[in-house]
Chains A and B, each alone.
Chain A
Amino acid sequence: MSRRQSPGKILGRVGLVLLAVPALAAVFAPLTARHSPTRPSARPLLKPSLGHPLGTDDLGIDIFAQLIYGSRISLAIGLGAAVLAVVVGLTVALVAGWRRGWAETVLMRLTDVTLAFPFLPLVLVLAAFFGRGLIVTALVIGAVTWARPARVLWAQVLKLREYPHVQAARAMGATGTRCVVRHILTRLTPVTSAQFVRVANAAVISEAALAFLGLGDPNQASWGIMLANASSNNALLTGAWKWWMVPPGLALTLVVLGFAFTGYASEEWADPRLASTGRLRFLSSRRRRPSPAATAAAVETPDPGPILSVRDLVVHYDRQGPAVVKGVSFDVERERVTALVGESGSGKSTIVLALLGLLPGDPLVEGEATFEGRKLLRAAAAARVRGRQVGFVTQAAMNALNPAYTIHFQVSEAAALTMPQEEARRRATDLLETVGLPASDHGAYPHELSGGMRQRVVIAMALANKPDLLIADEPTTGLDLVTQAAILHLLGDLKDRLGLTVLLITHDVQMVMRVADEIVILQDGCVVEQGAVDTVVADPQQDYTRRLLNTRLSPLTVKV
């Protein structure tokens, strides 16, 4: 099985090589080209020969020399314009997006005004009125293209501002500059480098386009001018395109490609999410209509044994890596609340994600898990029970709602997996009311609700298809104490009313003692102790259990 690799690293190296070629050509042009790129050195329209590797143009100027010297123009214009545009654009975006208010109004008006002048026509017009020098071209391209980076980056800043952790940092009193540098600027790097590349691309191409249109600096040998000359001398018809058109065209393409590849690599390097190659297995799962036989089987098996039974579960995040879960066995009894307790890093979330087939990448999962008498550890089996027989409240559930859909839609979408559309909508309404959201909030989007409300929505979502087992991963983390109590109360209430079986994942021992019947204590991927909560709390057998219980009672006397 081939290992997945993010494309950035390879593309970045190729890109640097692609850029190194014209860079070297630009630096060593006088050594490489034996003829002048601007003065005739032989008869016109010569075919390629040893003395003139690419022949001569209509004035008898050596085409190879023009090709070599042309790299100077392209690189200078590309880099110069890109630096100018990105520095201006980033400054505008940060000031406008962070300060808001009148600064934003003025700057974004300015940006829009600039954007409204497509730069090619503007450069054409300016060239027509002000002349056609190389530096003028570079300045105009840079001065007109800053607006696009500014606008894209500004939108990004606005988006970042609303990120929970940025809002949190601001709420906790982080100063503007620190916030900008820590949370905004670092996250802007990928977009900024992408914009840099885009401007460099645009600058190189538009210099060539201008020259091609006859508006280049006539005293310079530029690739665009070469293409224009070749084109006006009918190189396409005479066959001269092979040495007159293809070399400058490909040279242009390679420089632009070099910028594109390096830009992509820097984007990936700056934003690890883009480099994530982890395959998401669930992206390729197919919908299965529940077959009548399977449904019937599920109904007629009132198996008295545990609803979920895990034996010798071993999980590696990837095939080469170490085991994160090292042979875990436990049972979840019907209509009981079983708590999976451990510190962060003990593997408790990993166990659940592995059971449900939600681990990203290419993990190695061994052992056995039986849910309602059926094997669970195959991807297809996990996909079949997810959301139907097993409801799952993910970690950080209050951030697990899609910002683009109303909460009612997101709940009814889940319910629609097992019932007709109309019924699913009614069920969503009922469920949202059950978890304590008034009807007036049902049409709300996630961003309009508080964290506790969103948590309730996710619980409603998990209950949409009347699951036999509800798995809740740290359902109260990140909520204030009052809301924590309310959510716990809700879970307990639901359990009693719906006869739910609950698998609760938490590090909060106090919570376990309040709501759980059974407890499984995990340390470093292994089960340390398990049993009824009352028994374990009354008479812990292991040091680790004792320490864990004591942290709740008095954090200062951990060692007794």
Chain B
Amino acid sequence: MGNEAGSVSTQVEADPERPSNFHLQTDNAWSGLVPVGRQVLRALPLSLLVLAVAICLNFALPRLAPGDPIDFLIPAEQANKITYEQRMELASSYGLQGSTGEQFVRYLGNLAKGDLGTSTRYGAPVSELLADRLPWTLLLVGTSVFLSTLIGAALGFRSAWRRGSASDVRTLTGVMVLDSFPPFFVALLLVLLFSVTLKLLPVFGALPGSEAEGLEFAIEVARRAILPIAALTLSGLGSAFLVARSSAVTELGEDYVTMAAAKGLDGAGVRRHARRNALVPVWTVGMLNVGALFGGAAPVETVFAYPGLGRLIYESVLSRDYPVLQGAFLLIAAGVIAANLIAELVYPYLDPRVRRPGTAGS
């Protein structure tokens, strides 16, 4: 099995055995800052635009949907009992009185103050509910994307170096089979195996019921996070693997790989050259996965009754808690924007052709 598996990582830049490839730029060190500045200037307005569209969509959706937006604020079981006065009172407390323009201005004003409205189900401010849920989603998504990208890329590169061998075909097939299981089905199977059959791990919520403290508390939290993280990691492995493998196989066909061998580098050195370029798409896909999982973990969170953002969206859809639904939607959009922004900012450091658009001859 692969002795290079350990050395394959997204941290090629930190490889201690390799001299920095930026050492020649010390004489004009500021030039290293320019691409960041350029990239911020390029990416930030875009992120703001996306955010603006999300905010507008959030305002428009309940008003575009069939029916009166006030109807969306009344729990279904009370819909027939409510009086006209109660409706008007509801309308004013949720900022639905006045013309659409006035409503929009008020909506923006509240948003600027961080006021996302009040949950019709809990009666608590939406922002508080979101703040409760966000850390759990970050825990699940951050850990699982990190793990699936790391493992997927390591396996993918290893497969690429052995392209066409029996071990490559085995790994490729295995990962594709694994990748094809729907995440929530994997989650159900994990519950079946580890909780129902082996009775090893709890499957409900994120926090222990008893009053655990300190290290014990941390262990209990970890025990409850293991299965959701495992389910999300397994389902994210495939995309990282396939991208890593196919981009590395493609890079191996490039002339610079033969040249790297011709100039005397050993296998590890040649692989490092190919990997350096193959990492660019792996990084992009990793950040896309972060964005996608921000709300996309909903089915898995539901299986484990895990209090993340996805589960919050699901709950608020079922209980028709539209202020929460919209607030969560906005937060998830912001999370994806942040992930994209980070991807954009790092990209030039992965590909010098983007960092320093050149004027090549030939």
Chain A residues with a Cβ under 8 A of chain B? 2, 4-7, 10-11, 109, 112-113, 115-122, 124-130, 148, 155, 162, 164, 167, 190, 194, 198, 201, 205, 208-209, 212-215, 227, 231, 236-237, 241, 245, 249, 252-254, 256-257, 260-261, 264, 267, 271, 273-274, 276-280, 282-288, 356, 358, 383, 386-388, 391-392, 394-406, 408-409, 412-414, 416-417, 421, 425, 442-454, 458, 461-462, 464-465, 478
Tell me if A264 and B176 are in contact (CB < 8 A).
yes
Contacts of B49 in A (CB 8 A): 109, 113
Tell me if A276 and B163 are in contact (CB < 8 A).
yes
Tell me if A404 and B352 are in contact (CB < 8 A).
yes
Stretch at the interface among B88-96, B106-114, B210-218, B354-362: B354-362
Contacts of A409 in B (CB 8 A): 19, 21, 23-24
Contacts of B353 in A (CB 8 A): 162, 403, 445, 447
Contact with A along B49-71 (1 / 0, CB 8 A): 11001100100011011100000
Tell me if B246 and A267 are in contact (CB < 8 A).
yes
Docked complex: B306-327 residues within 8 A CB-CB of A = 310, 313-314, 317-318, 320, 322, 325-326
Tell me if A450 and B291 are in contact (CB < 8 A).
no
When the two chains form the complex, which single residue of A2, A194, A237 contacts B166, counting CB atoms closer than 8 Å? A2
When the two chains form the complex, which single residue of B61, B168, B314 contacts A7, counting CB atoms closer than 8 Å? B168
Contacts of B50 in A (CB 8 A): 112-113, 116
- Interface-central residue, B62, B239, B265, B325, by most chain A CB under 10 Å: B265
Contact with A along B182-193 (1 / 0, CB 8 A): 111100110110
Chain B residue at minimal CB-CB distance from A483: B361
Determine how close the nearest CB of chain A comes to the CB of B146; give it in whole angstroms: 18
Tell me if A213 and B360 are in contact (CB < 8 A).
no
Tell me if A115 and B263 are in contact (CB < 8 A).
no
Contact with A along B239-264 (1 / 0, CB 8 A): 10010001001101101111111111
Chain B residue at minimal CB-CB distance from A403: B353
Tell me if B257 and A241 are in contact (CB < 8 A).
no
Stretch at the interface among B76-84, B222-230, B271-279: B271-279
When the two chains form the complex, which single residue of B18, B180, B185 contacts A257, counting CB atoms closer than 8 Å? B180
Q: A118-B296, A121-B296, A464-B263 are in contact. List 17 more A-B contacts (CB 8 A).
A: A4-B164, A7-B164, A7-B172, A116-B333, A117-B333, A118-B291, A128-B322, A208-B184, A253-B180, A256-B179, A273-B249, A274-B250, A276-B252, A284-B267, A285-B261, A397-B255, A405-B276
The reply on B165 being an interface residue by CB < 8 A is: yes
Contacts of A260 in B (CB 8 A): 176, 179-180, 238
Tell me if A449 and B188 are in contact (CB < 8 A).
no
- Interface-central residue, A125, A408, A421, by most chain B CB under 10 Å: A125
Docked complex: B130-186 residues within 8 A CB-CB of A = 161-166, 168-169, 172-173, 176-177, 179-185
Contacts of B21 in A (CB 8 A): 404-406, 409
Chain B residue at minimal CB-CB distance from A190: B246
Per the bound structure, the CA–CA distance linking A388 and B181 in Å amounts to 50
Per the bound structure, the CA–CA distance linking A521 and B55 in Å amounts to 74
Tell me if A209 and B298 are in contact (CB < 8 A).
yes
Contacts of A458 in B (CB 8 A): 259
Contacts of B299 in A (CB 8 A): 209, 212-213
The reply on B336 being an interface residue by CB < 8 A is: yes
Tell me if A252 and B185 are in contact (CB < 8 A).
yes
Contacts of A236 in B (CB 8 A): 188, 191-192, 196
When the two chains form the complex, which single residue of A194, A214, A404 contacts B277, counting CB atoms closer than 8 Å? A404
Per the bound structure, the CA–CA distance linking A6 and B64 in Å amounts to 52
Tell me if A387 and B328 are in contact (CB < 8 A).
no
Chain A residue at minimal CB-CB distance from B25: A443
Determine how close the nearest CB of chain B comes to the CB of A274; give it in whole angstroms: 5
Per the bound structure, the CA–CA distance linking A130 and B296 in Å amounts to 20
7 closest cross-chain pairs (CB), A and B: A387-B264, A277-B164, A450-B361, A121-B295, A451-B362, A448-B358, A4-B164
User: Knowing A118-B294, A236-B188 touch, does A400 contact B267 (C-beta < 8 A)?
Assistant: no
Q: 12 interchain pairs (CB within 8 A)?
A: A116-B333, A117-B336, A118-B336, A121-B295, A130-B65, A260-B180, A264-B176, A277-B165, A383-B266, A401-B256, A413-B19, A448-B356
When the two chains form the complex, which single residue of A213, A274, A406 contacts B314, counting CB atoms closer than 8 Å? A213
Chain A residue at minimal CB-CB distance from B51: A116
Determine how close the nearest CB of chain B comes to the CB of A156; give it in whole angstroms: 9
Tell me if A400 and B259 are in contact (CB < 8 A).
yes
When the two chains form the complex, which single residue of B23, B188, B284, B340 contacts A231, counting CB atoms closer than 8 Å? B188
Per the bound structure, the CA–CA distance linking A413 and B188 in Å amounts to 51
The reply on B36 being an interface residue by CB < 8 A is: no
Contacts of B258 in A (CB 8 A): 358, 394, 400
Contacts of A449 in B (CB 8 A): 358, 360-361
Tell me if A394 and B358 are in contact (CB < 8 A).
no
Tell me if A394 and B252 are in contact (CB < 8 A).
no
Determine how close the nearest CB of chain A comes to the CB of B69; give it in whole angstroms: 10
Determine how close the nearest CB of chain B comes to the CB of A389; give it in whole angstroms: 9
Contacts of B276 in A (CB 8 A): 402, 404-405
Chain B residue at minimal CB-CB distance from A259: B180
The reply on B198 being an interface residue by CB < 8 A is: no
When the two chains form the complex, which single residue of B192, B262, B332 contacts A356, counting CB atoms closer than 8 Å? B262
- Interface-central residue, A6, A209, A287, A442, by most chain B CB under 10 Å: A209
Per the bound structure, the CA–CA distance linking A283 and B251 in Å amounts to 13
Tell me if A256 and B182 are in contact (CB < 8 A).
yes
Determine how close the nearest CB of chain B comes to the CB of A485; give it in whole angstroms: 16
Tell me if B255 and A261 are in contact (CB < 8 A).
no
Tell me if B246 and A274 are in contact (CB < 8 A).
yes
User: Knowing A121-B310, A121-B313 touch, does A403 contact B176 (C-beta < 8 A)?
Assistant: no
The reply on B75 being an interface residue by CB < 8 A is: no
Tell me if A117 and B54 are in contact (CB < 8 A).
yes
Determine how close the nearest CB of chain B comes to the CB of A474; give it in whole angstroms: 13
Contacts of B329 in A (CB 8 A): 121-122, 125
User: Knowing A286-B267, A358-B262, A387-B265 touch, does A128 contact B188 (C-beta < 8 A)?
Assistant: no
Contacts of A414 in B (CB 8 A): 263-265
User: Knowing A116-B50, A118-B292, A451-B361 touch, does A7 contact B173 (C-beta < 8 A)?
Assistant: yes
Per the bound structure, the CA–CA distance linking A198 and B192 in Å amounts to 28
Contact with A along B14-37 (1 / 0, CB 8 A): 000011011111000000000000
Tell me if A127 and B277 are in contact (CB < 8 A).
no
When the two chains form the complex, which single residue of A2, A283, A288, A412 contacts B19, counting CB atoms closer than 8 Å? A412
When the two chains form the complex, which single residue of A215, A287, A397, A412 contacts B269, counting CB atoms closer than 8 Å? A287
Per the bound structure, the CA–CA distance linking A236 and B336 in Å amounts to 35
Per the bound structure, the CA–CA distance linking A445 and B336 in Å amounts to 32
Determine how close the nearest CB of chain A comes to the CB of B195; give it in whole angstroms: 9
Per the bound structure, the CA–CA distance linking A445 and B57 in Å amounts to 44
